[in-house]
Amino acid sequence: MKKLFKIGFLVLFLSGFAQEKITQNIYFDFDVDQLRENQKNILCDFFQKIDSSQIQSVRVFGYCDDRGSAPYNFNLSDRRVGTVEKILLNIGLNPKKLIALEGKGRVLVNKDTVPNLDQTRYQNRRVEVVIEKKAQSAYFMGIPRLFSDFHLPHKKGDRIYLENVRFGVGSSYLDLRSRAILDKIVVILKNNPYIEFEIQGHVCCTPKYYSDAIDKDTKERKLSYNRAKAVYRYLVMRKINPYRMTFKGYGNQFPIGKEPELDRRVELVITKC
């Protein structure tokens, strides 16, 4: 019996070690189900910093403060969850990874004993986004293959460098030449419908104390994210199933170490085939 217990404990321990849970709280104003802009930005930035291919599952739980009836607050918490769900899907989360969407209603408090009632109520008007990550792997640092080799047999973890999809300084705009290359990729993807992949955006020439560069059009410091998103949106426009792909900006984390323009790039990492 002790041996069986030890084996069970070991399995649970290794399972817990292999997966990591991350929680982000997003806060709402009183009696509303829409987010302020700063809370939307917090949610988007939170997801931008996570390797989307390593997300095992996402759970979203909504709460309200103690004011109002229980039925009303259950409905309000459901609507808050729906707001966050729409944002997550708009920024590229695969809906298959959303395994729980639940409004839990109001959080009751003892108004006579809570030291800061207003602050406590504010913190209770929240949605929790709980991400469970897969075991960390190193395949994102693998040796890239050129797009010209994309037709060769491929496997999970292959990183395809789109050497002729280039961007101007501070830009996420896809020029005609880049779109022509992506049109060739569309043909390959349609001929290989089981390939799933992450689109990874990169930047050059940014100091290490910045995580990303500024997009001159949007004035946001998320240029690598916008480059990856531009490719994602173009592929969706060309009828590639959005559920097959995710996108993420990696900023200046992975320079090639050659000409700066080579770091103004996008790569595809195969996550399933």
- Render pLDDT for 193-237 as a digit per residue (tens, 0 to 9): 888 999 999 888 877 777 788 888 888 888 999 999 999 999 999
Length of the chain: 273
Share of the chain above pLDDT 70, in %: 85
- Domain edges within the chain: 19-133, 139-272
Which alpha helices (DSSP H) does 192-242 contain, by range?
223-237
Tell whether domain 139-272 is in CATH 3.30.1330.60. Answer: yes
Q: Which residues of 194-222 are buried (b: 16+ CB within 10 A; e: fewer)?
A: ebbbbbbbbbbebeeeebbbebeeeeebb
Which of these CATH numbers, 3.40.50.720, 3.30.1330.60, 3.30.465.10, 3.40.50.1360, describes 19-133? 3.30.1330.60
Question: In angstroms, rounded to a whole number, what is the distance separating the alpha carbons of residues 22 and 8?
Answer: 25
Task: Give the per-residue pLDDT at 1.
Answer: 45
Q: Is 174 exposed, middle or buried (0-12, 13-18, 19+ CB in 10 A)?
A: buried
Decide if pLDDT at 167 tops 80. Answer: yes
CA–CA distance from 216 to each of 48, 168, 173, 227 (Å)? 19, 10, 10, 12
More confident residue, 11 or 243: 243
DSSP state of 106: E
Query: 257: exposed, middle or buried (C-beta count within 10 Å: 0-12, 13-18, 19+)?
Result: exposed
- Give the pLDDT confidence score for residue 239 in this predicted structure: 93
State how far the Cα of 201 lies from the Cα of 251, in Å rounded to an integer.
7
- Amino acid at residue number 58: V
Q: Cα separations (Å) of 4 from 10, 13, 15, 84, 202? A: 10, 14, 17, 43, 49
Coil, helix or strand for 24?
Answer: strand
pLDDT at position 262 over 80: no
The per-residue pLDDT for range 78-96, each reduced to its tens digit, is 999 999 999 999 988 888 8
Q: What is the reported pLDDT for 153?
A: 63
Q: pLDDT tens, 120-133?
A: 999 999 999 999 87
- Exposure of 163 by Cβ count < 10 A (0-12 exposed, 13-18 middle, 19+ buried)? middle
Q: What pLDDT is recorded for position 67?
A: 94
Kindly report, residue by residue over 46-77, the tens digit of the pLDDT.
887 787 767 888 999 999 999 999 999 999 99
Distance (Å, whole) CA 273 – CA 157: 10
pLDDT at 42 over 60: yes
**Looking at the predicted structure, is the pLDDT value of residue 103 above 60?**
yes
